[in-house]
Chain A
Amino acid sequence: MDLNYSPEELAFRDQVRAWLSANLPADLKDKAHLPKEELMRWHRILAKKGWVAPAWPKEWGGTGWNVVQRYIFEEELGYAGAPPIIPFGVTMCAAVLLAFGSEAQKKRFLPRIYNGDDFWCQGYSEPGSGSDLASLKTKAVRDGDHYIVTGQKIWTTLAHYADWIFCLVRTDPTVEKRQEGISFLLIDMKSPGVTVRPLMLMDGWHSVNEVFLDDVKVPAENLVHKENQGWTVAKYLLGYERMNTGRIGESKRELHKLKESFSEKMNDVRWRDRLTRLEVELMALEITNLRFLDRMRRTGQPPGADVSMLKIRGTEIQQALTELAMQAADPAAAETKALERRYLDMRKTTIYAGSNEIQRNIIAKMTLGL
C-alpha cells in the first residue's frame, strides 16, 4: 500500500497543471453559468489538445489514460477553476453510443460531440416521473420509418443551448413491467414540435427548462439499442453518472478559496473546527474515490453500486462548503449575494442525478442486500 502518486503519476500531474496554467483563459476561470459560446470555447481548446474525452476509446479520440490518470486530469481541471465539460454529450450520450450505438450512429454523432459541433441535453425526468423514472409517459409511436413523439420533459439542464436531446420514451404502453416498454431515442431539437420553456430557479439563474414534444417526427434510425430495451441503456448510464458526481477537485478549490477569503475567520475556533471537519471529510472522500479507481484498475470491472457513496458524500460536502462561506460573510454586504446564490444553486446537487435518498436505496439494495 502506497497512497503517494508514483513519480510517473506526479510527472503527469505536473504536465497537466502546466498546460492548464498556460491554456486556460483567465476570463473563463471560476465562472459559474457561462453562456454557451464560452462553454464551447473551452471545449474546443481541450478538443484541439486532444483532451476533451479522455475516457473514450483511442480510435474515437480518447487519450488511453488509465483511471488514475483520468482522475488526476479531472481533479486538475476542477482545481484550476476550469469551466465544466458539459457531461450530456461527452460523458453520457457518448458512453451510450459507444456501448449500444450502431456504427452509423457512432460515425454520425461522436466526432460532432468531440469537436463541440453538437450540444446535447438529457430528456429523462417528466412532471410525473422524478425518482420513479420508469413511470415516464412521453410516448413514441412507430409510423413507417419514423416515430411520432408526444410528451413533456422537465428539469432539462441547458436545453436552451442544446442541438440534440437524448430521451427515454415509452414505445409499448401495454407491457405489465413498465421498464420493458421504454426506448432510448435521439431527437434533433430543431424538429418541428419541440418547444423549450425556461424554468427559473430560486438562485435566479436560467439553467433548467421544460421541453415540450408535440407530434415530433423522429427518424427510426435515431433509436439507440433495441426498441423497448431503453431501460438497459438508462441503467448503464446512471452508473456512469454517479461515478462523476463527487466533484472533488472543485470542492478542493472551493475550500482553498474559503480559507483565503476568510483568513481572519480561522481565528474563530468554532468556525475553524467546522471547516477542519469538512476538509477531513473531503480528504477521506478523495481516498475513497481513489480506492474505487484502484479497484477498477485491478479488476477491470466497472464500479459497483457502492460508488453511489461518492455522489452522496461529494454533494453533501459541496453544500456544506457554501454554508460555511455564507456563515463567514457579512450578511448585509453586496458581495455576499454571490455566495448566497451559490448556496441556493448547490441545493440541487443532492437532488439531481438520482436524489441522495435514491442513492441510499441503491446501496441498501444492491450492495447491502436489504
Chain B
Amino acid sequence: MNFDYSEEQQLLADSVRRFLQKDYDFESRRKIVASPEGWSERVWATFAEMGLTALPISPDYGGFGGGAVDLMSVMEAFGEALVVEPYLPTILAALAIAKAGNAQQKQAILPLVAQGKMRLALATGDRGVIGAPMAHKIVFAGKDGLLLVEPENLNPYRTVDDLAAADIRVDGKGERLDGRVFNEVFDLGAALSCAEAVGAMKFACDTTLEYLKTRRQFGVPIGAFQALQHRMVDMFISYEQAKSMACLACSRIDSSENAKDRARAVSAAKIKIADSARHISQESVQLHGGMGMSEELKVSHTFRRLTVLQRRFGDVDRHLERFASL
C-alpha cells in the first residue's frame, strides 16, 4: 500500500499547478468566462503541449496510457483553479471510443484528441451536454448503445458554474459504436469529478482559513472566535475525508478487476464527496459573511462549481441506492 503519487505523476501535477497559477489565475479566468466562446483555445493548446490531452490515450494512438490516479492529480488542480475548458468531457468520450469503437473509428479520432486537435463531449441524454458547443464530435449514450454524432442542432447555454453546455437533438443519425462499456466510463467520470471536487474544496478551505486570519471584527481576527474555529476544523476534516475517498475511487479504478468493487468504491466516494462538497461550500460562504456572496470573490465561484459537482454523474440518492444494491 502506498499513497504517494509516482515521480512522473508528481512532476505533471506540479507543472499543471504552476501553469494554472501563472496563467489561469482568477482574473485570467474571469476574462475567459466573459468571452463569447467561454473557453480559451490558447489554454487548450497549452494543455496539449503539456501532454494532458494525450494522458489517458493509449500509446497505440500517440498517448501516454495514463490511468485514473494519473488523471486524479490533474483534476484536483483543475478543481482548485475552476477550469472551464472541456477536458473531462473530451477524455471521457475518447475513452468510450477507445473501449467501444472499431479500429477505424479509433484511428480517426484518438490521435487527434491526443494532439489536442479534437474536442469531444459525452451525452447521456439530449439535455445538459457539457462541452457540446466546442466539441467536434459527441458520443451519445442512448438506450440502444453508443452513437458517434455530429454537434448539430445545438441549443447552447452556460451552466451555473460557467461551463459551456448545450441541449442537443439526436435523430438516430450517426455512427454506431459497437461495444457496451458505458458503466466503466461513467465510473471513471464520477471518480474524476470527485477529484475535481476535492481540488475545489481545498481552495474553499484554504481561502476561508486565510479569511479567518485576516478579517478583523471587534478588534480581533474573527478566527480568534471558538465558534468559528470549530466550524473551520470541521471543514478541514470534511476535506480530508473527501480526499481519502477520491484516492480510494481512483485507485480502485486502476487496480480492480472486479466491476462490483470498482462501482462500490466510486459510489461510496460520490456519497462522501457530495456531502462534503455541500458542507464545505456552504460553510465557506457563511464564514466569509457578505463577501462570500459577492461575485468578486473566487469563493462564490467555487461554491457554484461544488454545487454542480455534487450532482454530476449521479446525485447522492442515486449512489446511495447503487451502493446498497452492490
Contact = CB atoms under 8 A, between A and B. Distances in A.
Interface of A: 1-6, 9, 68, 266, 272-273, 276-277, 279-281, 283-285, 287-288, 290-291, 294-295, 298, 306, 309, 312-313, 357, 360-361, 363-364, 367-370
A276 B241 CA distance: 15
Interface residues of B, number: 40
B293 interface: no
B247 A1 contact: yes
Given A280-B272, A287-B248, A360-B230, 8 more contacts: A1-B2, A4-B255, A273-B324, A280-B271, A290-B1, A291-B3, A360-B229, A361-B230
B3 A370 contact: no
B3 A367 contact: no
Contact of A273 (B1, B6, B230, B320): B320
B244 interface: yes
A48 B104 CA distance: 67
Interface in B132-175: none
Interface of B: 1-6, 9, 69, 209, 212-213, 223-224, 226, 229-230, 232-234, 236-237, 240-242, 244-245, 247-248, 250-252, 254-255, 268, 271-272, 275, 320, 323-324
Contacts of B229: 360-361, 364, 368, 370
B213 A369 contact: yes
A280 B247 contact: no
A357 B230 contact: yes
19 contacts: A1-B69, A4-B1, A276-B324, A280-B271, A284-B241, A285-B244, A287-B247, A288-B241, A291-B240, A291-B244, A294-B2, A309-B236, A313-B237, A313-B241, A360-B233, A363-B237, A364-B233, A368-B232, A370-B232
Contacts, number: 120
B242 A284 contact: yes
Nearest to A71: B1
A370 B250 CA distance: 33
A2 B255 CA distance: 8
List 6 A-B pairs, minimum CB-CB distance, nearest first: A287-B244, A364-B229, A284-B241, A3-B251, A370-B223, A360-B233
Contact of B251 (A2, A6, A313, A369): A2
B3 A309 contact: no
Contact of B272 (A281, A298, A312, A364): A281
A302 B208 CA distance: 28
Contacts of B245: 280, 283-284, 287
A287 B265 CA distance: 12
A320 to B, nearest CB: 14
Contacts of A3: 1, 3, 247-248, 251-252, 255
A60 to B, nearest CB: 28
Nearest to A6: B1
Contact of B3 (A273, A280, A285, A294): A294
Nearest to A365: B229
Contact of B268 (A2, A280, A357): A280
Contacts of B323: 276, 279-280
B225 to A, nearest CB: 9
A110 B33 CA distance: 66
B115 to A, nearest CB: 28
Contacts of A68: 1
A266 B323 CA distance: 12
B236 A290 contact: no
Contacts of A272: 320, 324
Contacts of A363: 233, 236-237
B213 A370 contact: yes
A283 B287 CA distance: 29
B241 A281 contact: yes
B1 A9 contact: yes
A1 B237 contact: no
B271 A276 contact: yes
Nearest to B223: A370
Given A9-B1, A283-B268, A367 B236 contact: yes
A293 to B, nearest CB: 9
B232 A364 contact: yes
A288 to B, nearest CB: 5
A364 B237 CA distance: 11
A357 B233 CA distance: 10
A9 B226 CA distance: 42
A312 B226 CA distance: 17
A157 B241 CA distance: 31
Contact of A2 (B2, B240, B272): B2
A1 B76 CA distance: 15
Contact of A370 (B9, B224, B242): B224
Output the residue of A3, A5, A276 with the most chain B CB within 10 A. Answer: A3
A370 to B, nearest CB: 4
A295 B244 CA distance: 13
Contacts of B237: 309, 312-313, 363
A295 B4 CA distance: 9
A288 B3 CA distance: 10
Contacts of A294: 1-4
Contacts of B226: 361, 364
A283 B244 CA distance: 9
